[in-house]
Amino acid sequence: MNRKLEIGNWKSARRGVSLIEVVVVMAMVGIMTLGAGVLLANGQKSWGTLFGRVYGDSAIDSFAAQKAFDTVCRKASLRKHILSEDADSLELYYWDDSSTAAIPENYARFYQSDEEVFVEYGKTQTDAWQPDTETSPATIQIARGVDSVKFTLEGTSVQMYLNYTDADRTPMMCSSVRHNE
């Protein structure tokens, strides 16, 4: 019995750690560090992807197209619009901001040429709902890399659908409401 006490005291009196204990702890710390590194790397990659989607060219193009479309549609007349037969071109007539004219002073025509979407801004004839051929319109590119554009009209609502040539870009739908008679 006395011998058991000596062995027990010897173990409790021992100081330090064995080599195996050190190796096990180092392996555990290495595994946890590796796991944290993988999480940080994946987080950085996800952040870069998200940042590119929010601030990349496709987001800027989508915002510009939506803003140009919405600005015209909100001022457009309900009385006249020209939607092409295959719905890939739309012409809207709209008034200046503080206008009191009976006929809109301006028109905007949205259309696709090659892989780009443009809006053509021009003046209308003073006595008719027709573009003025004596003044030259201004044409602005509002989206690029577009495979197809389609327009729909439902009551006062107008929609523009953009499908991009790049499969990674999400198709975009802009919707706006015409407010003027």
Q: Is the pLDDT of residue 13 over 80?
A: no
Q: Which residue has the higher pLDDT, 24 or 170?
A: 24
Is residue 86, in this structure, part of any structural domain at all? yes
Whether 95 and 136 map to the same domain: the answer is yes
Say if 164 falls within a structural domain: yes
pLDDT class of 22 with cuts at 50, 70, 90: very high
Model confidence at 52, pLDDT cuts 50, 70, 90, reads: confident
Residues 32 and 80 in one domain: no
pLDDT mean over 55-69: 81
- Distance, in Å, from the CA atom of 71 to the CA atom of 66, rounded to the nearest integer, reads 8
Identify the H or E element spanning 150. strand 146-154
Q: Provide the number of structural domains found in the chain.
A: 2
pTM across the whole model: 0.69
Percent above pLDDT 70 for the chain: 92
91 band by pLDDT with thresholds 50, 70 and 90: very high
Q: Does residue 10 belong to any structural domain of this protein?
A: no
Q: Is residue 106 located within the same domain as residue 147?
A: yes
Q: Are residues 90 and 158 in the same domain?
A: yes
Q: Is 13 a domain residue? A: no
Q: What percent of the chain has pLDDT over 90?
A: 36
- Of 105, 124, 107, which is closest to residue 73 (Cα–Cα)? 107
pLDDT band at 2 (very low <50, low <70, confident <90, very high): low
Environment class of 23 (CB within 10 Å of its CB; exposed 0-12, middle 13-18, buried 19+) = exposed
Residue 141 lies in a domain: yes
Separation CA 12–CA 174 (nearest Å): 76
Q: Are residues 149 and 75 part of one domain?
A: yes
- Other C-beta atoms closer than 10 Å to the C-beta of 170 total 14
Give the mean model confidence (pLDDT) for residues 128-148. 89
What's the confidence (pLDDT) of residue 36?
A: 94
Residue numbers of the domain that contains 74:
63-177
Q: What per-residue confidence (pLDDT) applies to 54?
A: 76
Q: What is the pLDDT of residue 4?
A: 55
Average pLDDT rounded to a whole number, residues 18-35: 93
Tell me: do 116 and 159 sit in the same domain: yes
